[in-house]
């Protein structure tokens, strides 16, 4: 057996380069992070052939003193770590001291730098296995790292590189990722002598929003909402996109811990759970989030490329991120989603709705007369409603049950009359906008306005201050019912009602066994089910909020959810999924005629219900077309 020998420094650097220098994008990341740590406010990246031929990074940071220049190219040399205490609370992007020597070992590298205290700079052309020679050089304050002929001395690695176009695309992604985290630094990326990407310093919120839109596209910019949340010693900020802007893959998810871009399963899972009942299961949310926390609570020294971290209290971080984003998304209302984020405008009290017996719009809205409040207020979900809107809430509660011609709830007897749908093209006289302009006695218009028609028994057409609102009645009512069920379940106040005639159904023996085993849990969510035979169940009570839903289909769906989970612990984690299925059965169906009072009640509930922009399955519940969009559709003004 050969004797143990100490490896030469150059070979050690090449081994380290295998971990640090994977491709040109890895070099760009390491060098730009060094520039940012040096306090640079402007960084210029020049690439030739995707970085395979040349990578040059120029910055205006603090620079490197001439005496320290050779040390910068030696292994494990850094100005950022002086003790074990510094290592336990790393607050910089680069700290290992391996980047420059590792890069130099697989390329031809030139390092030039100057500090503000020196009249001129200094340069080193690194040559492996030879003493480093330093010479004076003209250079502004800052540092330039010029990397040429990447992997020229490691041909096996060179063969694994992709085309210059692919390598450049990866470099560009790295630059944009860093640019999102450093708004106070300007970036310029040149490829083969042409500027490919450039962004200026962004010092205020408006310019930061513009930078994010510039990097991630107009679609993200229009769908994104700025967040700033604090709790448990953590601060979460950035942008989260509306659920409607979900993606087919997780390609627009950026998460930073203390300005360091990381890939972390804890965070990814937390955000996914926050969006759990807002997007389709196979879709992915889009976000750019920055988590600030005590550096001693996170270990950044767990990955050679510093792309992963380890949290000391991962459950705390997971819970904070999930809860914060979920509550933030739940608080988004139609008023926030519309043009100016405010419900504004005026309403003529004399405006009447079709089929409302000549009642004024104020009375239709409030259920009262002149004693109603003078302005519309957005009511938080689950808070006591003012008495003036009780009539509409009663109408809302009747949506799941058959109604009489007048829209009032009817009994379940054989003599009950079927609902008579209003005309889908019913109008109410003059347009809302004209009446608003002529009115002196004013009321504030709700964000979703007031119903004008029920189109084919499916879509509610409403008119607000800005234009047209189109609502999918089933999807919207499904979300409202779902949120009510969740609130009642978690409050332990889900009331049940006994069925006049118990419903029996045949199931498999396995389903009957599972139903019997989970009888208490089912009773907790409002279903009282007895086992009558090895393969027969009897439903005796159902949640009162579901009215006259198809209880047989309801129980079959619930049993299907139960059978897909292996344990009761996981089952309890899937309560919301079960309630979602229950809400779907209890919601108003297509071709169910709605009275104006019911339609307006539905609009008001959408405005005050969490997550009302999407149904439980991720479909949008409403959309808006303002007058500008309508004019464009019909080529008006051309």
User: Quick check: 396 pLDDT over 70?
Assistant: no
As a whole number of angstroms, the distance between CA 331 and CA 325 comes to 10
pLDDT at position 529 is: 92
pLDDT at 519 over 70: yes
* pLDDT-based confidence at residue 215 (cuts at 50, 70, 90): very high
Mean pLDDT of 463-483: 90
Is the pLDDT reported for residue 83 higher than 50? yes
Tokens representing residue 269 in the block: 């899972």
In whole angstroms, what is the distance from residue 184 CA to residue 631 CA?
41
- Give the pLDDT score at 427: 37
Confidence check: pLDDT of 72 > 70: yes
Alpha carbon distance 272, 281 (integer Å)? 10
Min mean pLDDT across 109-113, 286-290, 606-610 is at 606-610
Whether the per-residue pLDDT at 417 is higher than 60: the answer is no
Please report where in the chains the tokens 């069925």 appear, as a residue. Answer: 499
pLDDT in tens, 171-180: 999 999 999 9
Between 449 and 578, where is the model more confident?
449
Q: Where is average pLDDT lowest: 411-415, 497-501, 564-568? A: 411-415
| pLDDT tens sequence across 188-205 | 999 999 999 999 999 899
Percent of the chain, pLDDT > 90? 38
Tokens found for residue 218: 């107009």
Report the pLDDT value the prediction gives residue 85, as an integer from 0 to 100. Answer: 67
- pLDDT tens across 305-352, in order? 667 788 888 888 988 998 999 999 988 888 888 754 333 333 332 222
Q: Residue 625 — pLDDT band, cuts 50, 70, 90? A: very high
Residue 538, pLDDT above cutoff 90: yes
How far is it, in rounded angstroms, from Cα 253 to Cα 240?
Answer: 9
More confident residue, 395 or 452: 452
pLDDT exceeds cutoff 80 at 55: yes
Number of Cβ within 10 Å of residue 524's Cβ equals: 14
More confident residue, 494 or 8: 8
Instruction: List the single range of 29-38, 334-343, 420-429, 448-457 with lowest mean pLDDT.
Output: 420-429
Mean pLDDT, the chain, whole residue set: 78
Q: Give residue 306's pLDDT.
A: 66
- Counting residues of the chain whose pLDDT is more than 70, the rounded percentage is 73
**pLDDT for 403 beyond 60:** no
- From start to end of 49-92, where are the E strands? 54-59
* Position 84 pLDDT exceeds 70: no
- Decide if pLDDT at 546 tops 70: no
* 505 CB-side CA count, 13 A: 18
Compute the average pLDDT of residues 111-122: 94
pTM, rounded to two decimals: 0.70
Highest mean pLDDT among 6-20, 224-238, 338-352, 554-568: 224-238
Answer whether residue 128 shows pLDDT above 50: yes
Of 16-20, 127-131, 437-441, 471-475, least confident by mean pLDDT is: 437-441
Q: What is the pLDDT of residue 394?
A: 53
Shortest CA distance to 28 belongs to which of 91, 84, 103? 103
Higher-confidence residue of 347 and 586: namely 586
Count of residues making up the chain: 638
Task: Give the pLDDT confidence score for residue 387 in this predicted structure.
Answer: 32
What confidence score (pLDDT) does residue 22 get?
85
Across the range 572-590, mean pLDDT stands at 66
In this structure, the number of other CB atoms found within 10 A of the CB of residue 94 comes to 23
User: Which whole number is the average pLDDT over 165-173?
Assistant: 96
Dig out the tokens for 281 from the structure: 């299961």
Which domains, from first to last, does the chain contain?
Answer: 9-195 (3.30.565.10), 205-330 (3.30.230.10), 395-638 (3.30.1370.100)
> Helices H, strands E: what count in the chain?
23, 22
Q: Is the pLDDT of residue 574 over 70?
A: no
pLDDT class for 145, splitting at 50, 70, 90?
very high
Q: CA 527 to CA 608: how far, in whole Å?
A: 28
pLDDT value at position 190?
97
Tens digit of each residue's pLDDT (9 = 90 or more) over 374-386 = 333 333 333 333 3
Residue 221 φ/ψ, nearest 5 degrees:
-60, -35
262-270 — which CB contacts under 8 Å span 24+ positions?
262/307, 262/308, 262/309, 263/307, 263/308, 264/308, 264/309, 266/311, 266/314, 266/317, 266/318, 267/291, 267/317, 267/318, 267/321, 269/318, 270/317, 270/318, 270/319, 270/321, 270/322, 270/325
Highest mean pLDDT among 344-358, 379-393, 593-607: 593-607
Q: What is the mean pLDDT of residues 92-98?
A: 68
Pairing of strands 121-125, 134-137: antiparallel
- For 259-304, write each residue's pLDDT tens digit: 889 888 888 888 988 898 888 778 899 999 999 999 888 887 666 6
Query: What pLDDT is attached to residue 518?
Result: 85
């Amino acid at each position: 057996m050969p004797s143990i020998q100490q490896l030469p420094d150059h070979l050690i650097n090449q081994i380290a380069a295998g971990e640090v220098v994977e491709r040109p994008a890895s070099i760009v990341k390491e060098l730009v992070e060094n520039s940012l740590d040096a306090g640079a406010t402007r960084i210029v990246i020049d690439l030739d052939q995707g970085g395979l031929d040349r990578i040059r990074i120029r910055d205006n940071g603090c620079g490197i003193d001439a005496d320290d220049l050779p040390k910068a190219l030696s292994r494990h040399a850094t100005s950022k770590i002086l003790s074990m205490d510094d290592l336990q609370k790393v607050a910089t992007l680069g700290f290992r001291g391996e980047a420059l020597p590792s890069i130099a070992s697989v390329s031809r590298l030139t390092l030039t730098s100057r500090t503000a205290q020196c009249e001129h700079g200094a340069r080193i052309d690194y040559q492996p296995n030879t003493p480093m020679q330093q010479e004076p050089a003209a250079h502004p304050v800052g540092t330039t790292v010029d990397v040429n002929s990447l992997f020229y001395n490691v041909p096996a690695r060179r063969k694994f590189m992709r085309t210059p176009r692919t390598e450049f695309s990866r470099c560009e992604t790295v630059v944009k990722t860093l640019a999102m985290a450093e708004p106070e630094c300007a970036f310029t990326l040149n490829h083969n002598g042409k500027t490919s990407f450039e962004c200026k310093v962004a010092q205020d919120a408006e310019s930061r929003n513009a930078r994010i839109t510039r990097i991630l596209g107009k679609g993200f910019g229009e769908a994104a909402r700025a967040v700033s949340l604090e709790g448990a010693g953590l601060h979460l900020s950035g942008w989260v996109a509306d659920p409607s802007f979900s993606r087919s893959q997780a390609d627009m998810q950026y998460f930073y811990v203390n300005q360091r871009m990381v890939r972390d399963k804890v965070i990814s899972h937390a955000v996914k759970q926050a969006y759990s009942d807002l997007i389709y299961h196979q879709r992915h949310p889009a976000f750019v989030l920055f988590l600030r926390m005590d550096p001693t609570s996170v270990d950044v020294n767990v990955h050679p490329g510093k792309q992963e971290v380890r949290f000391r209290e991962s459950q705390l971080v997971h819970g904070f991120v999930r809860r914060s984003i979920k509550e933030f998304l739940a608080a988004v209302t139609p008023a926030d989603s519309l043009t100016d984020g405010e419900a504004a405008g005026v309403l003529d009290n004399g405006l009447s709705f079709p089929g409302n017996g000549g009642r004024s719009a104020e009375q239709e809205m409030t259920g009262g007369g002149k004693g109603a409040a003078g302005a519309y207020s957005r009511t938080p979900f689950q808070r006591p409603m003012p008495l003036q809107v009780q009539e509409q809430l009663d109408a809302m509660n009747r949506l799941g049950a058959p109604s009489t011609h007048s829209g009032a709830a009817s009994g379940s007897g054989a003599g009950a009359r079927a609902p008579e749908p209003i005309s889908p093209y019913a109008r109410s006289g003059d347009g809302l906008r004209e009446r608003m302009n002529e009115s002196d006695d004013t009321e504030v218009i709700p964000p979703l306005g007031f119903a004008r028609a029920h189109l084919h028994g499916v879509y509610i057409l409403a008119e607000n201050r800005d234009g047209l609102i189109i609502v999918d009645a089933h999807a919207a009512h499904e979300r409202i019912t779902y949120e009510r069920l969740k609130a009642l379940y978690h409050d332990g106040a889900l009331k049940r009602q006994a069925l006049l005639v118990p419903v029996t159904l045949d199931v498999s023996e396995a389903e009957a066994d599972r139903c019997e085993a989970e009888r208490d849990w089912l009773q907790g969510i409002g279903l009282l089910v007895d086992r009558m035979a090895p393969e027969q169940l009897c439903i005796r009570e159902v949640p009162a909020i579901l009215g006259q839903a198809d209880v047989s289909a309801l129980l079959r769906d619930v049993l299907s959810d139960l059978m897909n989970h292996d344990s009761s612990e996981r089952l309890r984690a899937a309560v919301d999924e079960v309630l979602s299925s229950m809400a779907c059965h209890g919601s108003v169906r297509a071709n169910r005629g709605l009275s104006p009072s019911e339609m307006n009640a539905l609009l008001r509930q959408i405005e005050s219900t969490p997550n009302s922009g999407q149904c439980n399955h991720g479909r949008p519940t409403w959309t808006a077309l303002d007058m500008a969009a309508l004019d464009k559709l019909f080529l008006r003004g051309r």
